[in-house]
Amino acid sequence: MTRRYWNINLEEMIEARVHLGNSKKSWNPRITPYILAKDKHKGKGIHIINLAKTARFLSEACDLLFDAASQGKNILIVGTKKLPERAADSVALAAIKARCHYVNKKWFRGMLTNWVITQTKLRKLRDLKVSEKMGKFNSLRKRDAAILKRKLSTLQTYLGGIKYMEGLPDIVIIIDQQKEYIALQECIILGIPTICLIDTNCDPDLADIPIPANDNDTVSIRWILNKLVSAICEGHSSYIKKHYK
């Protein structure tokens, strides 16, 4: 795996509140090696994440993503959190910038493990989009057109981020291990490497590369995503230089 310098700055992490974990009541004992201390914050005892560990694993994740992107591999970002506000939007924006696939509304059980069914839904989505673009809905009865438009809207909302994904992803980035546990389990079953943002209530042993960080703050999530996206974008640039000289 390529080792590169990713400019992971301690002060920036503190400013982005990456170090603020959950309260002691909701912690997972397996996260102990990643905890620096317990502190009072806003009147509540919370765990403080060891940012030296965060920097180390984030750097490893960036190296892996750079290598994958430089080889033209497919990367999927999963994050369907409604809270904190706009967390799901941050996932979509990051994925679009990095030219990755993404799921940010809802993870359907079997999305990867029942890939044949997912492919059928994706084909339906593409067919409906073509029909709409060609104006075929206009020739239908209003009721029939309305049904197809609703179907298209639903498929676009939930599968629009993976509509160009032709096969299983090579790497999956998961924002909030607890929320996306089903997605993580599917990756484990299929042997797909995972990079997980893990707060102090998560099990770091489940991810191939766990990044200890605050997953309850949009600023923290966005800061981590920006670093990962930068690595992917650099990898894409390397791929283009190698293959399109």
User: In the CATH hierarchy, which top-level class contains the domain 16-110+168-243?
Assistant: alpha beta
Dump the DSSP string for 111-144: TTTTHHHHHHHHHHHHHHHHHHHTTGGGGS-HHH
pLDDT confidence of residue 45: 77
Q: For the chain, what are the domain ranges?
A: 16-110+168-243, 115-161
pLDDT confidence of residue 138: 83
* Burial of 217 per CB tally in 10 Å (0-12, 13-18, 19+): middle
Whole-number percent of the chain with pLDDT over 90: 76
221 touches 87 (CB < 8 A) = yes
pLDDT confidence of residue 145: 87
pLDDT confidence of residue 133: 87
Q: Which range among 40-54, 132-146, 151-165, 197-211 shows the weakest confidence by mean pLDDT?
A: 40-54
CA distance 125 to 147: 14
Name the average pLDDT for the chain.
92
| Helix and strand totals (H; E) in the chain | 7, 8
Side by side, the strands of the sheet bearing 35-41 are 20-23, 44-49, 35-41
Burial 120-143 (b: 16+ CB within 10 A, else e): ebbeebeebeebeeeeebeeeeee
pLDDT digits (tens, 9 = 90+) for 122-140: 999 999 999 888 888 888 8
Number of C-beta neighbours around residue 116 at 10 A: 7
Confidence class of residue 5 from pLDDT cuts 50, 70 and 90? confident
Confidence class of residue 44 from pLDDT cuts 50, 70 and 90? low
Domain 115-161 has CATH 1.10.287.610: yes
pLDDT confidence of residue 115: 97
CA 238 vs. chain centroid, Å, equals: 22
Mean pLDDT of 29-52: 80
Read off the amino acid at residue 150. Answer: R
Number of C-alpha atoms within 13 angstroms, CB side, residue 118? 21
Number of C-alpha atoms within 13 angstroms, CB side, residue 224? 35
Mean pLDDT of 47-74: 96
pLDDT digits (tens, 9 = 90+) for 199-208: 999 999 999 9
CA distance 57 to 112: 26
Mean pLDDT of 20-49: 79
* More confident site: 182 or 39: 182
226 touches 91 (CB < 8 A) = no
Pairing of strands 194-198, 171-175: parallel
pLDDT digits (tens, 9 = 90+) for 75-121: 999 999 887 778 889 999 999 999 999 999 999 999 999 999 999 99
One fold for both 16-110+168-243 and 115-161?
Answer: no
Number of C-beta neighbours around residue 73 at 10 A: 14
Closest CA to 234 of 43, 11, 67, 33: 67
Confidence class of residue 8 from pLDDT cuts 50, 70 and 90? very high
Instruction: Give one word for 221, left, alpha or beta, with left for phi > 0 and alpha for psi -120 to 50.
Output: alpha
Is the pLDDT at 13 greater than 70? The verdict is yes
